[in-house]
Amino acid sequence: MSDLVVRDDLSLVATGTQDFVTVRLAGQTLGIPVLGVHDVLNPQKITKIPLAPEWVSGVLNLRGKIVTAIDLRQRLGLPPLEQGKQSMSVVVEHNDEPYSLQIDTVGEVLSLDDQDFERNPVTLDPRWREVSRGIYRLKNELLPILDVDKLLRFESSNKAA
């Protein structure tokens, strides 16, 4: 589904489309590759884990499986969700372990043209640059794509923290 084309700036890009689940997080829309998403859950009861890193919001029970919930706002340096609002979960897998990304709301699934894809601007917040694969230029807004593997590669961020 993708061919290589030479763009105006002579960079080589693939053409074709990819599907992304869009999620909203503190007013920002993000894309997560649809193939990586296992489940989207309504607000769940999350058991807090004292002493865990602050970007771990806890664990939840997904059909008998224990899933670790990641507070995406924390992870991306966004303010916490307003009081009284509950977050939704997007369940992804990393190293065969299920993780749930806690987001505000889930949007539609978009099929995006590879030609609209662009690398991260160098000025992007390092925390974002670290976990963003690149940006899609949509009509109304920009859509950073989350790199789930990098996002969940905690060892590095652990050390940095």
Partner 1 sequence: MDDLLNEFLTETAESIDVVDVELVKLEQDPNNKEVLDNIFRLVHTIKGTCGFLGLPRLESVAHSSENVLGKFRDGELEVSEHAVTVILESLDRIKEILAGLEATEEEPEGDDSELIGRLDAIAEGALAQQPDPEPDTIEGEIVDPGLGRPLKPGEVSLAELEAAFENAPGPEELAEPDMPTSEPAAASASQEGGLFDRIGGEDTLAVAAHLIAQRLETDEKLAKFFAGTTVEQRKGRFMGLMLALFKDDLDAADNVGRQLVTVAGFADANFDQLLTLIKSVLEECQVNGDTCDEAVMTFELVREAVVTAAKAIAKAETNKAGTSQGAQQQSGAREQKKVTQSIRVSVDLLEDLMNMVSELVLTRNQLLQITRNMENSELGVPLQRLSQCTTELQENVMKTRMQPIGNAWAKLPRIVRDLTVELDKKIDLDMRGADTELDRQVLELIKDPLTHMVRNSADHGIETPAERMAAGKPENGTIILNAYHEGGHIIIEIKDDGRGISAAKLSNKILEKGLATQAELSDMSDAQIQKFIFHPGFSTAEKITSVSGRGVGMDVVRSNIEKIGGTIDMNSVEGKGSTFQIKIPLTLAIVAGLIVKAEEERYAIPQISVLELVRASQNSEHKIETIKDTPVLRLRNRLLPLVYLNEILGFMTRDEIDARENVDDFIVVTQVGTFTFGIVVDQVFDTEEIVVKPVAPILKDLEIYSGNTILGDGSVIMILDPNGIASLANSGVGDHEHEEAAAEDLVKRSVGDEKESMLVFRAGSENPKAVPLALVARLEEVEVDTIELSDGKHMVQYRGALMPLIMAHPEMKFREEGRQPVLVFTDREYTMGLAVDEILDIVEEELTIKLASNKSGVVGSAIINGKASEVIDVSYYLGLAFADWLRSRDLSEDVAPSAGAKVLLIDDSDFFRNMLRPVLTVAGYRVRAVSSAAAALALMEEGEMFDLIISDIEMPDMNGFDFAKEVKKDSRWSDTALVALSSLATERDINRGHEAGFDDYIAKFDKETLLRSLAQQLKIKGDAA
Q: Residues in the site for partner 1, rule: CB under 8 A?
A: 45, 47-53, 56, 58-61, 64, 66, 68, 95, 97, 99, 152, 154, 158
Query: In the bound complex, what is the minimum distance in angstroms from residue 92's beta carbon to partner 1?
Result: 13
Task: Specify the residue, 103 or 152, whose C-beta has the smaller distance to partner 1.
Answer: 152
Whose tokens are 């949509």? That residue is 138
Within 13 Å, how many C-alpha atoms sit on residue 11's CB side? Answer: 10
Q: What is the DSSP letter of 36?
A: G
For residues 95 and 123, which CB has a smaller minimum distance to partner 1 in the complex?
A: 95
Q: With respect to partner 1, which residue has the nearer C-beta, 97 or 125?
A: 97
Distance CA 27, CA 79 (A): 11
> What is the C-alpha separation between 150 and 158, in angstroms, rounded?
12
Nearest Cα neighbor of 70 from 85, 82, 84, 87 is 87
Instruction: Please report how close the Cβ of residue 81 comes to partner 1 at its closest, in angstroms.
Output: 19
Residues 99 and 91: beta-carbon distance below 8 Å: yes
The smaller minimum CB distance to partner 1, of residues 7 and 65, is found at 65
Cβ closest to partner 1, residue 24 vs residue 153: 153
Minimum distance of partner 1 from residue 59's CB (angstroms): 5
Residues near 66 by beta carbon (within 8 Å), at least 6 away in sequence: 59, 60
Nearest approach in angstroms of CB 98 to partner 1 is: 9
Residue 106 three-state SS: strand
